Copies of this chain bind each other. A is one copy, B any other.
Amino acid sequence: MLELKDLPDAHILKKFADRYPDADIDRVIQFLTFLRVATDLSNGLDRYLAAHALLQGRWWVLVLLMREEDSCSSPSRLAEKAGVSRATMTGLIDGLQRDKLVSRMVSFKDRRQMLVKLTSKGQAKLDEVMPEYYRRVRQLMTALSDEEGDMLMQILMKLNQQAQVFD
Q: Decide if A81 is an interface residue (CB 8 Å cutoff).
A: yes
Most chain B beta-carbon neighbours within 10 Å: one of A23, A137, A167? A137
Indicate how many identical chains form the complex.
2
Across the A-B interface, the 4 shortest Cβ-Cβ residue pairs: A38-B38, A44-B166, A27-B141, A1-B60
* B83 and A24 within 8 A (CB): no
**Can you list, as one digit per residue, whether each of A125-167 has a CB less than 8 Å from chain B (1) or not (0)?**
0010011001111111111100011011111101111111111
Specify the main secondary structure of chain A where it touches its partner: helix
* B162 and A34 within 8 A (CB): no
Shortest distance from the beta carbon of A15 to any chain B beta carbon, whole Å = 8
* B20 and A131 within 8 A (CB): yes
Shortest distance from the beta carbon of A126 to any chain B beta carbon, whole Å = 9
Q: Decide if A124 is an interface residue (CB 8 Å cutoff).
A: no
